[in-house]
Structure 1
Amino acid sequence: MTPVNRRTFLATAGAAAVAGLTGCSDSGGSGGTGGGGQKLVWWDHTPNIRPANEKAFAKFAKESGGMRVEYTHHQTSKLGRALTLAKQSNQLPDVHSTAGLGLPLPALVKEGWFQPIELGEEALGRLPKDVLVEGIHTLDGKVYTVPITATKQYWAANFFNRELVEKAGLDPANPPKTYDEFRVACKAVKEKGGGRATGWIFGLGQPARVAEQVGFMAQAAGFEGTGGGANHAGQLFRTGEFAYDSDPYLTVIEFLLSLQKDGLMFTGSQTLDDQVARVRWATGVAGYFFDGPWCPGSTEKDAKQFLDKLDVGPMLVPEADTPVTAYRAPQGGFYFLSAASKKADAATKLLAYQTTKEYYADICKGMGPPPLDPSVVADSEAHPAWKKVVGWFDRDVFVEPVPVVRNPEVQKVVQLAKDVKPNLGEIVSGMFSGDVTDIRGALKKLTDASEKERARALAAAKKAGAKVDESDWAFVNWQPRKDYTKDMYTG
């Protein structure tokens, strides 16, 4: 998710600015502290989960005597700013997702964002054992959020246009798996795909998503550290050191740049965010598009006519004998109860629906991130491509260690750390535009700047009394292609 530097916002920003950031609202309003009247105000960035939520909203309205939910959707890249402005002007919704805030749970609670939710034994008892992690879902034993989707997923699957692939003489049942196979497939699509299609389209206008995809692909290329699903990518698990300039990152970026050099990338990619790129791809301008599991659901919403042509292959790897590998931190919660809400009891009742098997099954209808309970996927009516990519995740994705889980004091360093600019996504976008020509040199500068900024924030936190040191980022007992489990934090 896109991190936002909250220090950039003016304390004088008010309601008009918040209203200007609103995506769409079911009832025409954009919020207000505690919702006001017989309603709960809900802000969200996850349209794929909207079908499940709307069903829960209807059930809640019936069981709560008619209290409605005022829903507002925000684009992922804009939600963090909207929330920051809303907090400054005392207009936070009752319940909201947190894309863009860019801080761990302990820091957000300390800054007064959330209040605990009292779900009760029945709702908590429906959750899988050990799924709630201190520092991610709970603090001091109090529950602040629950996961509703699975940890195991990556966001760089190789979705493709079946029609163009077949016209190119390729076998849709055997999509490219390696870099070389992908390059050959892209050339075939360009040469035989009807004259207007190129091989691949890339959303370079959304640097945060670029960084996520490069990070996941770097893991698949052998990087043994944080990647696409982390707020702070590029850190080796065993040592905690930053290593953006390592060979796996360089391998991925050079491969992607070679597609542009060979004329296989859609020429307008530089200005496209992922949503626009996906819709353009669905019009037939390119054969392939890297995306997360939400691709079928988003396509159904924005380009439904394309669904019959949509298919997917796994994330690419450099060599044929390399297994697809990705790592992600334990999935956090999507939704939180605002500290400003005066309707905690009602909101908690609504959030409790999100621990049910019925809710997990409804998540499948939106075809976004896979639900927490994967047993509901097989019997769902979801698109075959969604089922296919979700099925690969359990085999190919592993749980990574999280410093703040082992030592909550780490969050004090995170709070003090400033964003390093240019970041990975901006650097990669600059490489495609030609503004950045020394690839390894730019990545080395990012590595050094990231290390320097963490050291500065660490020293400041220790000076203020934080009990933390560099070893808190190092997990010497981490093993490749293994889940990092709770017991390993004390190992």
Structure 2
Amino acid sequence: MTRLTRRGFLGTSALAAAGLAAGCGGSEETSGSSGSSGGGGSGTLEWADHFSSFQKLNDDWAAEQSSALGASVKHTYYDASKAGQAFQLAHQAKKMPDVYSNVVGLPLAALVGGKWVHELKLSAETKAKIPQNGLTEGITTLDKKLYGFPLFSFRQSSTLVWMNKDHLDRAGLDPDSPPTDYAGFKDACRKLSAAGVKPLTLALGADGGRVRDQVDDLAQAAGFPGYQGLKFATGEYAYHDDSYVTVVEFLKELYDSKYMLPGTNNLSVVDARTRYAAGAVGIFVDGIWCAGGSKALVPTFVDKIAFGPILTPTSGAKPWTYRGRPGATWFVSPDSRDPEKATRLIESLMTEEYQKGMIAAMDQPPLNLDLVAGSDAIDAYKKAVTFCKDNVFLMPQAIVKNPEVAKVDAQRKPITPHVGNIVQGYLGGSIKNLRNELRKLSDASEADREQAMTKAKSSGAKVSEDDYVFADWKPGADYGG
């Protein structure tokens, strides 16, 4: 079992486990009920997720919905590094929570086939609140049946630059003029170090999932014309492209220059963010949810947070990245004893009251980004949302072009070592030839897609390599083909 990060189900048509959210970090404490007692007893709904920023919001919402639904709603928060395993064990025991977040790590077809999910039957009122193209066959629906509920905008990033205003002031740096390219970033790190501040930390440790996401993002910003190693125009895997090499060499330079906090190579998302919120470093590379995650850890730290964009190799380059259509955020378990009330709980998350609570919590932005500008969120979060709104574009997807690609996805297998593992090995010195390892990953990814396609075809799927080719794709724009 591999864990799906925040961004993972933002509509990828490759192996879902290769990607988002994201891996959302927070404290390792749980709220609400403890353990994976799911399936809800009589009159009880179990609701579990991995959104650290939403812990209080969801605890409070559970209490409110207990009255509205006439059932005791119990909310549990799991650290993202533990959620996947917890859900796997609960699934084996047929005691899944009634409602749970998308952190399992399987494509929708596999979730349906493996009896992980229950069909959702939404009211007309709720459907009307979901933007056009918010529900997609193979991503949130399968055979025209809805299984996954989207809640977040695809215009988000896991690779933004978050800074500590106090440390920047100490180093003579202006938080309103953050670094935008590699040279500027290294200069900022140098000045922070000279001022006695440890410059930087990232989540390089654990399973390497977060740094994998971030290298994929940085490669796009460095000019890679695709997503997770797959080129849009040709449909070929090219992790060994110059853009990936450039990004990993940049991280290696930061690591060798000792700009990273000691122990960074072992830090999980929660560990790294905890160091940042505690003031141990000047800069933390994290997702758009960093402000909310930091607030959950150290509420008084929020006013010190400053925002910087995803970095590009050269000054003046466009920091463009690409994501797929909104993926599922919430599922109802087939173990639920009351799937109707479980669905109503999910529907309640589209109310104005909950949406405002989401924005105040400053996690992933809602489907309607226009709600953020007039909210009470801090300025740094608003800047991050605006940046993503302007620089994150809708990508072409094989599964949208041909929904039967879902049958290929269901046959895909996790590839290891993945990009994050390669970064870990290269920074640590166990990998000497970076491009060679990346080329091996390209070849392994291609071979896995081929075996998955062969199996899908043998089962009657009408798919081909052409489903992955988008010769009309253009950078810096939403794909509408």
Q: Normalising to structure 2: TM-score of the pair? A: 0.91
Q: Which residue does the alignment assign to 1:49?
A: 54
Residue 477 of structure 1 aligns to which amino acid in structure 2?
A: D
Task: Find the counterpart in structure 1 of residue 178 from structure 2.
Answer: 175
Distance 2:181 2:298 in 1: 28
1:461 matched residue in structure 2: 456
**Percent pairwise identity:** 39
1:59 maps to 64
Q: For residues 61 and 190 of structure 2, what CA distance do their matches in structure 1 show?
A: 47
* C-alpha spacing 1:398/1:349, structure 2 compared with 1 (3 Å): same
Matched, 1:368 2:371: no
Deviation at residue 32 of structure 1 after TM alignment: 3.4
The equivalent of 1:68 in structure 2 is 72
Deviation at 1:23, TM superposition (A): 6.0
Q: Distance in 2 between matches of 1:446 and 1:410?
A: 21
Shift in Å at residue 330 of structure 1?
A: 1.1
Aligned to 1:401: 396
Gap regions ≥5 residues in structure 2: 6-27
- The Cα shift of 1:138 comes to 2.0
The secondary structure found in structure 1 opposite 2:414 is: coil
Number of residue pairs the alignment of both structures matches: 457
Cα distance in 1, alignment partners of residues 150 and 341 from structure 2: 19
Give the counterpart letter for 1:332 in structure 2.
G
Unaligned stretches of 5+ residues in structure 1: 5-21, 227-232
Aligned to 2:309, which of 314, 327, 332? 314
- Which secondary structure does the structure 1 equivalent of 2:462 belong to? coil
CA distance in structure 2 between the aligned counterparts of 1:86 and 1:355, rounded to whole angstroms: 27
**Structure-1 residue corresponding to 2:217:** 216
Counterparts of 1:60-459 in structure 2, within 5 Å, are: 60-65=65-70, 67-99=71-103, 101-192=104-195, 195=196, 197-206=197-206, 207-226=208-227, 233-459=228-454
Q: CA deviation at 1:443?
A: 0.8
The aligned amino acid for 2:53 is N
**Do the aligned partners of 1:296 and 1:307 also contact (CA within 8 Å) in 2?**
yes
| Worse-matched range after superposition: 183-192 or 67-76 | 67-76
Selected match of 1:479 from 452, 474, 477: 474
Tell me how far 1:118 sits from its aligned partner. 1.6
The farther-off stretch of 378-387 and 411-420 is: 411-420
Q: Which amino acid aligns with 2:262?
A: T
- Residue 51 of structure 1 deviates from its aligned partner by 4.2
Deviation at 1:210, TM superposition (A): 0.5
Of the three residues 41, 44, 53, the one matched with 1:39 is 44
Q: Structure 2 counterpart of 1:201, which letter?
A: T
SS at match of 2:282: strand
Q: 1:154 to 1:198 in 2, by over 3 A?
A: same
Q: 1:142 to 1:458 in 2, by over 3 A?
A: closer
Deviations 1:104-137 (A, max 9, x none): 2222112211121221111111222332222222
Q: Choose 1 or 2 for highest CA Rg.
A: 1
Inter-partner Cα distance in structure 2 for 1:296 and 1:213: 17
- Report the CA distance between 1:398 and its aligned residue: 0.4
- The alpha-carbon deviation at position 96 of structure 1 amounts to 0.7
Give the conservation status (yes or no) of the 8 Å contact 1:119–1:348: yes
C-alpha RMSD over aligned residues = 1.9
Distance in 2, matches of 1:414 and 1:482, equals 26
Label 1:155 to 1:29 Cα distance change in 2 as closer, same or farther (>3 A).
closer
Maintained 8 Å contact 1:42/1:69: yes
Say whether the 8 Å CA contact 2:153–2:365 is kept in structure 1. Answer: yes
> Which TM-score applies when normalising by structure 1?
0.89
Residue 400 (structure 1) shift: 1.2
Match of 2:21 in 1: none
Distance 1:54 1:435 in 2: 44
Residue matched to 2:9: none
SS of match in other structure, 1:296: helix
Task: Give the 3 Å change call, closer, same or farther, for CA 124–50 of structure 1 in structure 2.
Answer: farther
How far the C-alpha of 1:241 sits from its partner, in A, is: 0.8
What displacement does 1:54 show? Answer: 3.6
1:36 counterpart letter in structure 2:
G
Give distance in 1, aligned partners of 2:397 and 2:334: 26
Contact 2:140 2:147 in 1 (8 A): yes
Q: Which amino acid aligns with 2:198?
A: T
Deviation string 1:132-154 (CA, Å, 9 cap, x unpaired) is: 22222222332223321111011
Counterpart residue identity of residue 44, structure 2: K
Question: Counterpart in 2 of 1:13?
Answer: none
**Equivalent-residue separation in structure 2 for 1:413 and 1:145 (angstroms):** 19
In structure 2, distance between residues paired with 1:396 and 1:215: 15
Q: SS of 1:284's equivalent?
A: coil
Give the distance between the partners of 1:29 and 1:85, measured in 2 at CA. 11
Q: CA deviation at 1:436?
A: 0.9
Cα deviation, residue 408, structure 1: 2.8
Displacement after TM superposition at 1:456 (Å)? 2.1
Question: What is the Cα deviation at residue 55 of structure 1?
Answer: 4.3
Q: Which runs of 4+ in 1 moved over 4 A?
A: none
